[in-house]
Structure 1
Amino acid sequence: MRKIKSVLITFSCLVLTALLSGVIFLFVNNIEGIIVLLSGLIFLFVLFIVTIIGLINGEIKLLKMNGRFNVSLAISYLVVTSTLLCVMCFLNYVIYDTYGDLSASGKMKLLQEKVVASEELQKVIGDYPVLEHGHITFRYHPDTEKPVYEIIHTMESMTELEKEVFGREITKTEKLEVIALRNSKEYIQLNPLSTETVGGSYDSRNKRAMVYQERESFDDDKSFMIGTFAHEYSHYLIDLFIMEEGLNDNDIPAWYKEGICELFHYEIVDTISIPGKIDTSLKYTDLHTSKKWNAASEKTDVYYLAKRAIGYIVEHQGDVKDLSTILLQQKKTGSFERSFDQITGLQLSTLNETIFSVEKDLQKAWIAWSQESDIETAEKLYKEITKKHPNESIAWHQYALILEEQMKWDEALNARRKVISINPEEAAGFLNLSYLLTIFDSKEALEMANKSLELTKQEPYGNVVFVQKWVDEISSYHELMSEERFVEAYQVILQSEQLSFQPTIIEELKKQVQVKSPS
């Protein structure tokens, strides 16, 4: 009876200790966790020595415990408690190293995501249709069938881009599972730590990508899920490349991997990347680890910065293959920074100064224009920016916008021509130039529209219908202008839905029609 009582007491102590360890795990950070671990282990080690001596003597005077059976229970309790304490502190360290400091609720959500996710996932996708396509298994909600087939349609383009970036088609040693959910609500149900700002995820351990179709709080276009897939699929490719080449994943900066993924995203889906808030005090070295990346993402648009950096490297080198060459060189140098310098001829500090200098200057000019309505100051700033950074197409684009708003047409035209000279493969630049040329030359406006259509057709998910409509409109406009049927020509172009988003151009065209046909 006494032995049963002793066992029950020991078990109760273990339960209480487990609860206490759980509380410690939830409410301490990494530093506090280490202190608790060391203090606890020292205390438990002292008790362990005392109990071993007690086991030999048959009693523990310090704990007033008699009998070898009771002493054995005490030893068992100490061993289990020590193991539990180590596990809790180790988990705390792993979470801190990956996600940074999390609150108690954040840690509980993370545990829920990791422990319950598998069960929840089966509940959500249990009845989903399954589609096998090469090395990819798609499990998709019936409502997402169309975008899933559109994703499959882009795979040929993805493979071509894969060959360009990595120099070859990577061997698919492991299959990829893609979960296509209906909306953000289902996604957050399976990923409690996420918000709608996160469009998808990739699980390296399970080789699983998760994307969804609709966000409640955002007005996304129909290519949202396809672009997200391209990003997450790139993580899968980088994952396989790292394993194939024997690279250390932790040695490759988070911003570099994410930047390559953003490159895939915006090459496959031709959409405009509008930056969020930018903290210009950051450095790319501050975005090396996942922990630093996650921490920085709370105060700045890290994905935009990663995309800008990769774009600058590609423009500077003129070859996307150098992105993987830098990683291969890292096997020889043992340092990403040294490899980056050797392959690109740039130092990370130079890259940082260039990108952040542009962003800081653009932000200042944009605030003067959009928030303070000080157009004169904004124009002056944009003029300085384009002199300081003559090869930054975004600076020339914004400069052209402010010139168009002021109807400084000749200067705006020069700025638009500069945009296409910097990015001759970007359809949007030729489209914007075509809009502006309706004021100057209908023939060249048509030529630029056709060039934009040609480039759009080369894009896997370009909006061909949208550009084709403009080509049809500008064709009619040019034909009528050539026949000097000015009134009809202006009637056609002034009714253009696309040009309605260019109010100053519309205003200038109305002035022209009054001059040519006063009646």
Structure 2
Amino acid sequence: MKKLLFIMKTLLWSFFWPFILYGLYLLLSGIQGLILGVIVLIICFLLFSIGFIGLYKSSSSLLGKQRIGASLLLLLVVALTTVFLSVTNYVLDTSLSQNLSARIKNQFYMEAVLVEKERIFEKISFLKTLENRFDPLTSVFYEKQDEELAVAASRHIRKMQGSNSRWIDAHNPVTVTVILYRNPLIFQKHLPHHSYENLQALYVPAEETIHLLVTKEMEKDRDRLLELVAHEYTHHWIVSYLSENGLDNRHLPRWFEEGLAEYAGKQSIRTVPDFVPLNLIPFTRLDTVEEWAYENRRNSPHLPYRQSYYAIDQLVRDGKQDRIKTLLLNNKENFYRLFQKEIGKSVIEFEVHFLRDEMKVFRENND
């Protein structure tokens, strides 16, 4: 039993130290990492030499020799981990001219482990060609010609952070990466597999990244860019907010989260979309990502984004804005049961309510 505990303890320490070193290297620049690597390797060499000589000359019991051997093994693990992390940290840090935060470094490492190696090298090669603008909220990658758009996007995100905190809840989200593309093919190549068509922007939670395709329309009308930035950033804000509270967004119907993002995006540029009579889709058919993608197919007569915007707009106009936080943070009760309890109407009754109100305004404006 003692031998088993000893082996388990040795293995535990062998896994513990690489993780400690990994976390440390995320915080260091390439040169700092190399300096630390040299220092750690010198210490490991000295301790390993002392331990090896002690093992060679030792007349201790078998258990004593095993303990020295375990220490030497641990030193070897630390040394090899240090060499690997020093080199990879230096290569990554010097591959991109931009200052890399610990979060962005971790993102690159995770992608290198979880996806094809060629893809991560292609991404780094692409980002090397871009400029970078970094602040505590954003890290924006962009072509030199889009510097003004990058500045506008960064400022708009600061505005959205304050706006979302006021109308939902106080929260300081983690830094979001924004990549502005000019080439549609490169844009599509860097997106994960998805079911949406004609995308101009997409937030990828696993990467904490907003991918955005800059179009000629956005050059003429910057509000279109800002609306998309605000929409996608609200997705990031929600994911970060839920994560801070120990949750994720899997318990949220897609229409509800997309409605919040669409409402925030429109409000950020002070635009209220005109109501148009539409084929209302029951919200219970817009629950999942697959259902949402299906209803947003190119030839669909439905307008799920517009419909979801109207729903959130109705909640705000009905004075139910403070219920949004409760609906977001719920993960114990069925969403629609909680919705009825908080809003005072079933989701079907609510659909009829906001559609009737919007139709009334539509008729008044068109008489």
TM-score normalised according to structure 1 size: 0.43
Q: 1:485 matched to which residue of 2?
A: none
What are the equivalent positions in structure 2 for 1:264-275 lying under 5 Å apart? 264-273=264-273
Q: Residue in 2 aligned with 1:18?
A: none
Q: Which residue of 2 aligns with 1:239?
A: 239
- Provide closer, same or farther for how the CA distance between residues 397 and 351 of structure 1 changes in structure 2, counting only shifts above 3 A: closer
Instruction: Give 1:334's aligned residue.
Output: 333
User: Contact between 2:196 and 2:293, CA under 8 Å: does it hold in 1?
Assistant: no
Alpha-carbon shift at residue 275 of structure 1 (Å): 7.1
Q: Does the 8 Å contact 2:161/2:172 carry over to 1? A: no
Where does residue 286 of structure 2 map in the other structure? 287
Is 1:214 the counterpart of 2:215? The answer is yes
Distance in 2 (alpha carbons) for counterparts of 1:195 and 1:125: 25
Matching residue within 132, 135, 146 for 2:134: 132
Deviation at 1:346, TM superposition (A): 1.8
**Aligned residue number for residue 141 of structure 1:** 143
* Residues 230, 261 of structure 2: 8 Å contact kept: yes
Aligned residues of 2:181 and 2:213 also touching (Cα < 8 A): yes
Contact kept? 1:277, 1:301, Cα under 8 Å: no
Report the equivalent of 1:324.
325
Indicate the residue corresponding to 2:179 in structure 1: 179
Shift in Å at residue 248 of structure 1? 4.5
Distance 1:244 1:148, change over 3 A: same
The alignment partner of 1:167 has SS state of: coil
Q: 1:219 to 1:197 in 2, by over 3 A?
A: farther
Identity %: 18
Distance verdict in 2 for CA 1:223–1:118, change over 3 Å: farther
Match of 2:159 among 132, 135, 157: 157
Residues of 2 paired with 1:251 and 1:297: CA distance? 21
Give secondary structure in 1 for the equivalent of 2:291. Answer: helix
Match of 2:205 in 1: 204
- Between 1:339-348 and 1:159-168, the stretch displaced more is 159-168
Is the Cα contact below 8 Å between 1:341 and 1:348 reproduced in 2? yes
TM-score by length of 2: 0.60
Aligned 1:20-99 pairs, distance under 5 A: none
Q: Distance in 2 between matches of 1:204 and 1:340?
A: 25
Task: Within 5 Å, give how 1:465-504 maps onto structure 2.
Answer: none
Q: Secondary structure at the match of 2:177?
A: strand
CA displacement at 1:228 relative to structure 2: 0.8
Q: Distance in 1 between matches of 2:274 and 2:120?
A: 35
For residues 183-208 of structure 1, the C-alpha deviation after alignment (integer angstroms, 9 at most, x for no partner) is 54542343476777322111111111
The one-character-per-residue Cα deviations of 1:122-175 (angstroms, maximum 9, x if unpaired) are: 34332111111113111111222112212233244313322223321x233x42
In the alignment, structure 2 segments of 5+ residues that lack a partner are 1-114
Is the alpha carbon distance of 1:185 and 1:225 closer, same or farther for their aligned partners in structure 2, counting shifts above 3 Å?
A: farther
Letter in 2 for 1:396: V
Greater C-alpha Rg: 1
Distance 1:183 1:314 in 2: 39
Q: Are the aligned partners of 2:283 and 2:347 in contact in 1 as well (CA < 8 Å)? A: yes
Structure-2 residue corresponding to 1:313: 315
State whether residues 255 and 292 of structure 2, in contact with CA within 8 Å, keep that contact through their aligned partners in structure 1.
Answer: yes
Distance 1:197 1:395, change over 3 A: farther
2:123 to 99, 121, 124: 121
Deviation at 1:327, TM superposition (A): 2.4
Q: Using the alignment, how far apart are the partners of 2:187 and 2:277 within structure 1?
A: 25
- Hey, what does 2:11 align to over in structure 1? none
Q: 1:139 to 1:399 in 2, by over 3 A?
A: same
The unaligned stretches of length 5 or more in structure 1 are 1-113, 359-388, 404-519
How much does 1:219 deviate? 9.7
* Aligned residue number for residue 73 of structure 2: none
Distance apart, 1:211 and its partner CA: 1.2
Residues 399 and 184 of structure 1: CA distance in aligned 2, closer, same or farther (over 3 Å): farther
- Alignment-mate amino acid for residue 124 of structure 2: Q
Match for 1:180: what amino acid?
Answer: L
Q: Tell me, what secondary structure is at the counterpart of 1:224? A: helix
**What are the within-5 Å matches in structure 2 for residues 293-308 of structure 1?**
293-298=292-297, 299=300, 300-308=302-310
SS at match of 1:223: helix
Alignment of 1:396 with 2:361, yes or no, is: yes
Distance 1:215 1:122, change over 3 A: farther
CA-atom RMSD in angstroms: 2.9
TM-superposed deviation, 1:278: 4.1
2:195, 2:293 within 8 Å by CA — same for their partners in 1?
no
Alignment match, 1:167: 169
Partner of 1:256: 256
1:354, 1:264 → 2: CA distance?
Answer: 22
Provide closer, same or farther for how the CA distance between residues 248 and 196 of structure 1 changes in structure 2, counting only shifts above 3 A.
Answer: closer
Q: Which residue does the alignment assign to 1:64?
A: none
1:99 corresponding residue in structure 2: none
Amino acid of the structure 2 residue aligned with 1:304? R
Q: Which amino acid aligns with 2:232?
A: E
Cα displacement string for residues 65-123 of structure 1 (whole angstroms, at most 9, x for unaligned residues): xxxxxxxxxxxxxxxxxxxxxxxxxxxxxxxxxxxxxxxxxxxxxxxxx7565444334
The 3 A distance-change label for structure 1 pair 129 and 248 is closer
Equivalent pair of 2:201/2:213 in contact (CA under 8 Å) = yes
CA contact (8 A) 2:157 2:230 kept: no
Residues 1:185 and 1:221: Cα distance change in structure 2 (over 3 Å)? farther
Contact 1:203 1:209 in 2 (8 A): yes
Shift of 1:270: 2.7
CA distance in 2, matches of 1:285, 1:205: 26
For the residues of structure 2 that align with 1:277 and 1:124, how far apart are their CA atoms? 44
